[in-house]
Structure 1
Amino acid sequence: MTEADSQTMMKKLFVTLIAALLSFSAVAGDAPDVLIKRVSEEVLEIVRQDKDVRNGDIQKIAALVDAKVLPHFNFQRMTALAVGRDWRSASTAQKTRLQAEFKMLLVRTYANALTSYSNQRIVFRPFRMRDGETEVLVRSEVVQPGAQPVQIDYWLELADGQWKVFDVVVAGISLVTNYREQFAREVRDGGIDGLIASLAAKNKSLEVTANNRAAR
């Protein structure tokens, strides 16, 4: 799969992730499947009713993400997994920049993808968790009018008494693995600083796209 094909596929499917990525306001003690189910329903209702969100209002979406997503996602682990073995060679400052740019890339991508929302609904598969497990998988399908269901699986970890998402698997493709291949090429070509610059450029491009759409 080429980088362009990969990005197109992820953009089309990101809208189906919005149910789990815009709001994790449930009680910390919730079981992981209960957490995902409840907030999925809540956020789908927000998307249905909020025209600004559906139209990709980047400021409004960014505010939602800052308030409700960031405290409940382990972005440091997500970034480390996406960067792969090159993460170990990055300096503390580079790791901070990588995490910030990767986080913004996801936020910008979600914003652009929201315009594709068209009454998706989520069906969850039976969930089982053994006593003492600290990493679990919550499986679901996104049912879309006139299209085949898309499988969405969420990897969560228990940290400090809270369940946090560290990877999302869309139609069998891991979010962090998908980016790892792209990031590895960027590091080979320009090192860690080259990857940071590339992420910053992509974020700027997505910002321009969102601003142009808002101006229409």
Structure 2
Amino acid sequence: MNFRGFVAACLSGLLFVCASAGAQQQAPDALIEQVSKEVLETARNDPAIQAGDLQRITTLVEEKILPHVNFRRMTASAVGRYWRQATPEQRQRLEAEFKQLLMRTYAGALAQVRNQQVHMKPFRAAPEDKEVIVRTEVRGQGEPVQVDYRLEKTERGWKIYDVNVLGVWLVENYRSSFAQEIGQVGIDGLIQKLVERNKNAGSGQS
């Protein structure tokens, strides 16, 4: 599994089964541990996922992930200071295209899950904290990989808005590339580029 695919697999694996109301009431570290282990096991044992059935994987991702991620915050953070300049319509389109881009990446990565195991690191947070970082280590073949998650507490439970693999935060990584694109072609230009990337991914092009 390449680095980009593994990043996506870690995030998608974490979120794959966050569907039950009971799971939403768990402490953030307990939630991370439970769903990470459940999903990695599911991915390993599902013949369709192992065979790379992207339609099946995508459907599962859409059903299980979307209600449990703050994509608005994730998109706004990735777009950075330009978010304030975007119109409501541009914000809506940015969020929709960014969401589709991430979903396609996660779906493809899930098919690559094999023998990874999640090990939790000590969790430090106060009961009143509204935002926390849960740190984990994913072990399999090769060197262990550090994977950290940023979560926020909402009225509907804990929601993930960023993930860090090997010291690289997903949102910050996209913010750099998005800023460069907007500087060159503007907000509408970035939207069009995201549309093209999603279209090419859907048709199997690189």
TM-score normalized by the length of structure 1: 0.88
How many Å separate the matches in 2 of 1:16 and 1:53? Answer: 15
Partner of 1:149: 144
2:199 matches 1:181? no
Structure 2: give runs of 5+ residues left out of the alignment: none
Q: How do residues 31-110 of structure 1 correspond to structure 2 at under 5 angstroms?
A: 31-110=27-106
The residue number in structure 2 matching 1:209 is: 204
Q: Which runs of no fewer than 5 residues in structure 1 stay unpaired?
A: 1-7
**Which residue does 1:111 correspond to in 2?**
107
CA distance in 1, matches of 2:100, 2:152: 22
Identical positions, percent:
46
- Residue 80 of structure 1: CA displacement? 0.4
Q: Deviations over 1:65-93 (max 9, x none)?
A: 22111111000000000010011111111
Q: Distance in 1 between matches of 2:96 and 2:18?
A: 20
Structure 1 54/197 Cα, relative in aligned 2: closer, same or farther at 3 Å? farther
The alignment partner of 2:127 has SS state of coil
Aligned to 1:13: 7
* CA–CA separation in structure 2 for the residues paired with 1:99 and 1:117: 27
CA deviations on 1:122-144 (whole Å, 9 max, x unpaired) are 10101122121000000001112
Give the alignment of 1:124-203 within 5 angstroms.
124-145=120-141, 147-203=142-198
Aligned mates of 2:93, 2:78 — CA distance in 1: 14
SS at match of 1:164: strand
CA RMSD of aligned residues (A): 1.8
- Aligned residue for 2:176, secondary structure, equals helix
- C-alpha distance in structure 2 between counterparts of 1:17 and 1:66, whole Å: 13
Matched pairs, number: 203
**Distance in 2 between residues matched to 1:68 and 1:183, nearest whole Å:** 27
Q: Distance in 2 between matches of 1:29 and 1:115?
A: 29
Query: What secondary structure is seen at the aligned counterpart in 2 of 1:154?
Result: strand
After TM superposition, the structure 1 stretch with the greater mean CA deviation from structure 2, 153-162 or 76-85, is: 153-162
Distance 2:173 2:17 in 1: 24
Question: Which deviations, in whole Å up to 9, do the C-alpha atoms of 1:2-43 show, x marking residues without a partner?
Answer: xxxxxx632343223332032212422111011111111111
Q: Which runs of 4+ in 1 moved over 3 A?
A: none
Partner SS, residue 93 of structure 1 = helix
TM-score normalised according to structure 2 size? 0.92
Q: Deviations over 1:125-184 (max 9, x none)?
A: 011221210000000011121x11110000000111510001001111000000001111
Is 1:82–1:180's contact at 8 Å kept on the other side of the alignment?
yes
Cα distance in 2, alignment partners of residues 106 and 58 from structure 1: 14
Equivalent of 1:23 in 17, 20, 43: 17
Distance, in Å, in 2 between the alignment partners of 1:126 and 1:12 is 23
